[in-house]
Every structure is written in structure tokens, then in C-alpha cells.
Amino acid sequence: METTLIILKPDAVQRGLMGRIISRFEDKGLQVVGAKFMKISDELAATHYADHKERPFYAGLVGFMTSSPVLVLALRGNGAIAICRSMMGATFGFKADAGTIRGDFGVSSSFNLIHGSDSPDAASRELGLFFSDGEVLDWARPGDAWVYDMSSGSPE
């Protein structure tokens, strides 16, 4: 099982899309194991987006991410990183396929609604930035028996 970081960005929060987006992940079978509604500080945004520091869009990105509250989620599931990225769709809403979060809710090349970790290493680093020890929980969902075939001893 993988755990990944998802951020519902200021545009998703301001447009009232949080519940609809979370429902998509839960409907898919992913488990919410952490959630935090927060305003990202300049320092946290700078750390999170440090890889983009030299890019021309960096200042605007940090300004956008600190402009309004966000909803930070830790989602868990078998292949959660790839599943979430597929569900998110292409970076720009006007290029994203219908049926994806960005394809269904976005048209902007600047406001793209959602962030998701792109690798296990990134997920580990990003989860550590946004969640303290004890804030990402292990909890059993009896319904997982109907999400994953466990007959081989591992989720399929």
C-alpha cells in the first residue's frame, strides 16, 4: 500500500469543490488517512516548491498557494500515487481529458485545482512537510475486503 500527498489548491477550495474531489478518490477505493485544512505559510510553500525556485513561474506559484486555505490529504491504497495522478489529469485543465479532476473542473493554465506527489520519494518528503508524527493514521476499513482481492495474501 502506498500513501500519497494530495493538496486541493486555493482554487478548488474557493470554488467549493473539496467534497466532490474527495468523493472521487473515495469512490475509487482510496482511503483518507490524513486531512488538514490549513493556510500554507510562505516558508512551507518555498520548501515544498524548492525544485522550481529558478523557474519563471515560481513567485506566482508561491503567491497563489499562500493566497487562501488549502485542504491537504494523505491518501492510501494499492498504487495510490499512479491512481491519483491519473485521476488528476493533465496539468492544464484545457488539456486534461474529460473524466479527470482537471478535465471536468478546470480550464486555466494557471489554476489547476490539485497537487499530487509524483513518486514514492516525493510522497514521503511531501507528507513529512505537511503532516507531523501521528497525523497520518493507520485504520482498518472493513469495506476494503470489497475493494481489494486479498486471496493471495496481498491486495490485488
Catalytic residues: 115
Cα atoms in the Cβ-side hemisphere of radius 13 Å centred on 96: 25
Query: Cα–Cα distance between 34 and 72 in angstroms, integer?
Result: 8
- List CB contacts of 154: < 8 A, sequence separation 6 or more: none
List 115's β-bridge partners, or say none. 7
Q: How many CB atoms lie within 10 A of CB 75?
A: 26
How far from the centroid of its chain's Cα atoms is residue 20's Cα? 13
Q: How many CB atoms lie within 10 A of CB 132?
A: 9
State the cell numbers at 66: 499562500
Query: Cα–Cα distance between 72 and 90 in angstroms, integer?
Result: 20
